[in-house]
Amino acid sequence: MQISTAWRIARVFLPFAVGYYLSYLFRTINALIANHLSSDTGLGTADLGLLTSVYFLVFAIAQIPVGILLDRFGPRRVQSVLLLLAAAGAGLFAISTDFLSLLIARAMIGLGVAAALTAGLKSIVLWFPRERVALLNGYMVMLGSLGAVTATVPVDHLLAWMGWRQLFGVLAVATGATAILIYAVVPERGIVPSAAGATLGFVLGDRRFWRMAPLSATCVGSTWSLQGLWASPWLTDVEGLDRASLVRQLFMMSIVLSAGAWLFGTTVHAIKRKGIGAETVLAMVAVLFIAAELSLILRVSLPSILLWSIVAIVGTATVVSFAVIADYFPPELAGRANGALNVLHFGWAFLAQYATGLILEQWSANDGHRPVQAYQVAFGLNLVLQIAALVWFALPWRRSIASWMSSILFFRPADVSCAVERVGLYEDSVILLPADDNADW
């Protein structure tokens, strides 16, 4: 039977997009309710950083087993069961009165939404043509990142009359309803058995993965850490924004975030049709992100909203990273491969978010505000590691270009031909790698 695109969108794509929307909302909401949590429960800066970042820690730990479960049982069953756990976590968060119970509730939420994106990506791989995967990944992340939009002005208005506890009660009900929706509406799809050798070890043994993954993790994880929590205190402590101005800027950042997913999806879709690898886009995004962070740290005279919008948009560069992954590995390994990359994304987000809180606490607060030097040190350490990851990512290009230039200078046609075959970073790029993916670079 011929299945229409509209049918696939309605019964496969949109239900998983709703689940990812809730995941993004849970991820970023603490930036807006941080003051309420601190005043109601007496949390310090480090405790607040740990409470918020434990979501990322649990999320990261769960990625490998979740990826295996997705490849084995399919996204419908895995996502619906886990979202029920997230609903229970949100309900516990709503009634918690001490740090430990809040921490456990936040961890339950993180585990419950651990498959939110990868289940959606897996469903796209299973139900849609391969050439549409990057574009649909972009739309998935775009719709999901509307959760970050909701976690600004709309949530601020809700907090004015219902409080953060009641809000989490509403989120618990919505998350449970989404779990039921996915189980009831999404059809089953036969899972293709993995080919011989197509295991997690196959993914982790691929050198291309380890060239790309650290750069993706340090950039994407850092922007999640910033937008999910630390952008808010920077804007108040360093830039002196009041509550209304802060909420407006967070709202604009979230709009840019959502638009970025669409931009990255369409860009990758377009360049791949021209035979250019998505790695080129990832490198450009990393350079732009590093430049924006450096400008913030050095207090360059540029509009704050411009720099923070660049920071925000990098949060959806997962669209680019997962497009790269889709080219590296077959569909039956999509869950494992995406999960492995997400371990690094969310693991880095946890480390960056928690470490930032620890570093900031080394400076005394003056009237509730910490000095700019504290933020410069905390953000600067993260920046140094991103630059190191970019250098690691670019090493094969440097070596290949040097070999090619050497061949040109010495005018040896045979060497030039050999060098041209090797220039480039990955197959599917404009210039190809050797046939052996594991060849020594």
State the DSSP string of 48-69: HHHHHHHHHHHHHHHHHHHHHH
| pLDDT category of residue 360 using cuts at 50, 70 and 90 | very high
The b/e string for 210-243 (b: 16+ C-beta within 10 A; e otherwise) is: ebbbbbbbbbbbbbbbbbbbbbbbbbbbbeebee
In total, how many domains does the chain have?
Answer: 1
Higher pLDDT, 191 or 169: 169
Q: Is residue 131 part of a domain?
A: yes
Query: With pLDDT > 90 as the criterion, what percentage of the chain qualifies?
Result: 45
SS3 98: coil
pLDDT above 60 for 102: yes
- Report whether pLDDT(112) > 80: yes
pLDDT one-digit tens code per residue, 313-333: 998 898 899 888 888 888 778
CATH of the domain at 339: 1.20.1250.20
Q: How far apart are CA 56 and CA 224, in angstroms?
A: 9
Highest mean pLDDT among 24-28, 56-60, 84-88, 186-190: 84-88
For residue 441, is it within any domain?
A: no
Mean pLDDT of the residues in the chain? 84
Task: Indicate yes or no: pTM above 0.85.
Answer: no
Residue 252: partners with Cβ closer than 8 Å, 6 or more residues away: 305, 309
In a domain, 383, yes or no: yes
Residue 191 and residue 74 in contact, taking contact as beta carbons nearer than 8 Å: yes
pLDDT at 31: 82
What value does the mean pLDDT take over residues 90-106?
Answer: 93
- 440, part of any domain: no
Residue 200 lies in a domain: no
Is a pLDDT exceeding 70 seen at residue 399? no
Rounded CA-CA distance 163/37 in Å is 11
Task: Indicate the pLDDT class of residue 148, thresholds 50, 70 and 90.
Answer: confident
Number of neighbouring beta carbons within 10 Å of residue 160: 8
Mean pLDDT of 89-103: 93
Report whether pLDDT(239) > 60: yes
Residue 259 belongs to a domain: yes
Q: Write out the residue range of the structural domain in which residue 58 sits.
A: 7-188+206-422
Looking at residue 322, what is its pLDDT? 86
Q: What is the pLDDT of residue 415?
A: 46
Cβ 438 vs Cβ 208: under 8 Å: no
Does residue 312 belong to any structural domain of this protein?
A: yes
In order, the DSSP letters of 31-49 are HHHHHHHHHHH---HHHHH
Give a yes or no: residue 438 inside a domain.
no
Of 68-82, 186-200, 232-246, 349-363, the one with minimum mean pLDDT is 186-200
